[in-house]
Chains A and B, each alone.
Chain A
Amino acid sequence: MRLCIPFMLVAILGAAAPTADDPPKDDAVCTLVLDGGSIEKLSLESDRGEEKIFIKPSESVALEPGRYRVAEIAIEGGYTYSGLFRTVSQWFTLAPGGQHRLRAGSPLTSRVEVERRGRILELNYKLQDAAGRSYRSNDRSNPPSFIVTKDGKQIGGGTFDYG
């Protein structure tokens, strides 16, 4: 029963959160232009603590003026970005009647961060959007791989472990 309470709370809060279908009450509507594709869910958090959720948003969405940050992005293929635990949040401001271009979603780019520890190179795989947000997937059947080359010749390679 104790487990049910958080789920019920989430369900109630989720229902209370405005969605893309709720038109902003303020007349001064701002536009958030989404520069990127394949977004299935976009969750924004305002500096007033409000959550705005857009399911399969179109190229632009209407918002009330204010300061926002990206809380979560889910894109096709089960890839998600969570900004909830970011220590440094990138806030953007929407002035009345103005617009902001948000780079999010596809295309995604594979990158590798390399750190040397003695004779070991520690590789950290990142799948990032154009704004540098890292996306994760729970699908373990398709692990990313890497190759190491020197003077054009492959000298190493393998697949990344999850976690």
Chain B
Amino acid sequence: MPFSAGNGELQIVAGQNIGSLGDAKGLPTTVQWKWYYNLPGLVFGVLALLPLVLARENWNFRAWAALVPLLVIIVLWNWMKLLFSPSSSTAEYFGVMIIALATAWTVFWSLAGRFQSRSKVLNFTAAAVVLWVMMSAVLAAGGVMQTSGLLSMLISQLVLIVAWLASMILSARRCRKTYSPKRFMAWLFLWTMLTLTGFTFVYMVVFILVFSSVSMAMIPRLLIGLLISSGLFGFILYLLNLPFMVLVFNNSIYDERFRKTFGLPMESNNPSELLASCGE
């Protein structure tokens, strides 16, 4: 509902021309609408801004560039909606999902400087928790997370986040000796596809076996469907991640955070080191 709906009682009447079968105008349904029902739509903005305002390392104009990929994704999503005109409920559902993921990434990169302790397990866990909490908060505020299916939704998010973090770490491992953005992105494409397909595939197989009663005859067809859909999902995730990687490669603050967090070689500013590397 638009903000102009304000506060009060809404009456919704459905109707259809059914000829002699009944009245064209149906019975009214009354809904109590509160002005603050519209506020959750803004939660993602507040969450994205919080680490930029509160964390000292972000008190820098260049650090606020973390908001650019989020805005780019929102603009592109709205453009896609115009292009494909999905139904309003489908558009809202996928819109909230995309914005939730983009918000979680914005917060992740805003706080990336803090995931650099000695314990890799601790760093990974902290990053996963931040991404998970942010995503869940936006999804809950957007009304996507309902009580029914809450557990599967939370697990799905965790699978997505762990798969993404794993793909970033594995790509970084392949670039420790010879790093370049292009090389990293090529490895990231491969690992995003592999981790997403693998994690989603395992998760869905477990989910089907535990929660649903599928006949054995259906399993081969389901597995092929799962492989295709999880591969497609991985490709979409890679595309959504692109604006953030463009930020990382073009903004010195995020480039440094990225290299430190994922253990990549730092760009040397020391003239003697640069000369030495030229000599090699």
Q: Decide: A148 near B12, CB < 8 A? Known: A108-B21, A108-B22, A112-B29.
A: yes
Q: A120-B92, A122-B89 are in contact. Are A109 and B31 (CB under 8 A)?
A: no
Q: How many A-B residue pairs have CB under 8 A?
A: 124
Q: In the complex, A119 Cα to B19 Cα: how many Å?
A: 35
Contact residues in B for A5 (Cβ distance below 8 Å)? none
**Smallest CB separation, B178 vs chain A (Å):** 47
Known: A106-B22, A117-B142, A123-B12. 13 other contacts (CB 8 A): A77-B18, A77-B19, A77-B21, A106-B20, A113-B29, A118-B37, A118-B143, A119-B41, A146-B12, A149-B12, A150-B6, A150-B33, A155-B4
Flag whether B27 is at the interface (Cβ < 8 A).
Answer: yes
Mark A residues whose CB is within 8 Å of B: 38, 75-77, 79, 106-114, 116-123, 125, 127, 142-151, 155-156, 160-161
Which residue numbers of B lie inside 8 Å of A, CB to CB?
1-2, 4-6, 8-27, 29, 31, 33, 37-38, 40-41, 87-89, 92, 96, 141-144, 146
Decide: A145 and B15 in contact? CB cutoff 8 A: yes
A38-B20, A118-B143, A118-B144 given as contacts; is B15 within 8 A of A110 (CB)? yes
Q: Closest residue to A117 on the B side, CB-wise? A: B143
22 cross-chain CB contacts under 8 A: A75-B21, A76-B20, A106-B20, A107-B21, A109-B22, A109-B27, A110-B14, A112-B26, A114-B12, A114-B31, A116-B31, A116-B37, A118-B40, A118-B96, A118-B141, A121-B31, A127-B16, A145-B16, A147-B13, A149-B10, A149-B13, A151-B8
Residue of B15, B17, B21, B88 most packed against chain A (CB within 10 A): B21
Residues of B within 8 A of A155 (CB): 2, 4-5, 10
User: Are B38 and A119 in contact (CB-based, < 8 A)?
Assistant: yes
A111 to B23: give the CA distance in the assembly, Å: 11
**A150 and B12 contact, Cβ closer than 8 Å, known pairs A77-B21, A113-B29, A142-B17:** no
Give CA–CA (A151, B11) in the complex, Å. Answer: 9
* In the bound complex, CA of A54 to CA of B4 (Å): 53
Contacts of B12 in A (CB 8 A): 112, 114, 121, 123, 146-149
Contact B16 A111 (CB under 8 A): no
A119 contacts B37, CB within 8 Å? yes
Q: Which residues on B sit within 8 Å (CB–CB) of A142? A: 16-17
Considering only CB atoms, which chain A residue lies closest to B27 in the complex? A111
Residues of B within 8 A of A151 (CB): 8
